[in-house]
Protein backbone atom coordinates (compact mmCIF):
# COMPACT_ATOMS: atom_id res chain seq x y z
CA UNK A 1 0.00 0.00 0.00
CA UNK A 2 1.48 3.40 -0.95
CA UNK A 3 2.56 5.50 2.03
CA UNK A 4 1.19 9.01 2.46
CA UNK A 5 4.02 11.38 3.44
CA UNK A 6 4.55 15.00 4.46
CA UNK A 7 7.09 17.54 3.31
CA UNK A 8 9.73 16.58 5.85
CA UNK A 9 9.59 12.89 4.91
CA UNK A 10 9.70 13.84 1.24
CA UNK A 11 12.91 15.78 1.80
CA UNK A 12 14.44 12.77 3.59
CA UNK A 13 13.46 10.47 0.72
CA UNK A 14 14.89 12.85 -1.86
CA UNK A 15 18.17 12.97 0.05
CA UNK A 16 18.15 9.18 0.00
CA UNK A 17 17.79 9.10 -3.79
CA UNK A 18 14.04 8.72 -4.29
CA UNK A 19 12.52 9.57 -7.66
CA UNK A 20 9.92 12.33 -7.72
CA UNK A 21 6.99 11.98 -10.10
CA UNK A 22 4.81 14.97 -11.02
CA UNK A 23 1.47 13.73 -12.41
CA UNK A 24 0.06 17.12 -13.38
CA UNK A 25 -0.58 18.12 -17.02
CA UNK A 26 2.53 19.19 -18.92
CA UNK A 27 1.77 22.93 -18.97
CA UNK A 28 1.33 22.97 -15.19
CA UNK A 29 4.56 21.02 -14.79
CA UNK A 30 6.37 23.55 -16.99
CA UNK A 31 5.04 26.39 -14.83
CA UNK A 32 6.56 25.01 -11.63
CA UNK A 33 7.66 21.67 -10.28
CA UNK A 34 9.88 20.18 -7.60
CA UNK A 35 13.57 20.10 -8.52
CA UNK A 36 14.45 16.99 -10.49
CA UNK A 37 10.84 15.83 -10.86
CA UNK A 38 9.83 13.63 -13.79
CA UNK A 39 6.56 14.58 -15.48
CA UNK A 40 4.12 11.83 -16.48
CA UNK A 41 0.57 13.24 -16.44
CA UNK A 42 -1.77 10.84 -14.63
CA UNK A 43 -3.80 10.20 -17.80
CA UNK A 44 -0.61 9.09 -19.53
CA UNK A 45 0.74 6.90 -16.72
CA UNK A 46 1.07 3.49 -18.37
CA UNK A 47 3.48 0.58 -18.23
CA UNK A 48 5.30 2.17 -21.16
CA UNK A 49 5.64 5.71 -19.79
CA UNK A 50 6.45 4.40 -16.30
CA UNK A 51 9.50 2.86 -17.94
CA UNK A 52 11.15 6.25 -17.46
CA UNK A 53 11.28 5.41 -13.76
CA UNK A 54 13.49 2.88 -12.01
CA UNK A 55 11.44 0.17 -10.28
CA UNK A 56 14.38 -0.53 -8.02
CA UNK A 57 14.26 2.91 -6.35
CA UNK A 58 11.63 4.56 -4.17
CA UNK A 59 9.25 6.86 -6.04
CA UNK A 60 7.09 9.69 -4.69
CA UNK A 61 4.08 10.90 -6.65
CA UNK A 62 2.63 14.37 -6.20
CA UNK A 63 0.24 16.81 -7.86
CA UNK A 64 -0.83 20.37 -6.97
CA UNK A 65 -2.44 19.84 -3.57
CA UNK A 66 -5.39 17.95 -2.10
CA UNK A 67 -6.99 17.16 -5.47
Partner 1 sequence: MSPRAAWRLESLGFKDVYHYVPGVADWAAAGLPLEGRAAGMATAGEAARQRTALCTPGDPIRKAASRAAEAGEDSCLVVNDEQIVMGRLYYKDLEASAGAKVEEVMDPGPSTFRPNVPVVEIAEFMKQNGLKTTPITTSEGRYVGMLHLEDAEELARQQAAREG
CA angle 11, 65, 59 (to 5 degrees): 40
Using CB under 8 A, pick the residue from 15, 26, 31, 38 that binds partner 1: 31
Residues 1 and 20: their CA atoms lie apart, in Å, by: 18
Is residue 16 near partner 1 by the rule CB under 8 A?
Answer: no
* Number of amino acids touching partner 1 (CB under 8 A): 42
Q: Where do contacts with partner 1 occur on this chain (CB under 8 A)?
A: 1-7, 9-10, 13, 18, 21-24, 29-37, 42, 45-47, 50, 53, 55, 57-67
Amino acid sequence: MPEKIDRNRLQELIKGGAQVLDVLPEDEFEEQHLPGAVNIPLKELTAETAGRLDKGRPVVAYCYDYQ
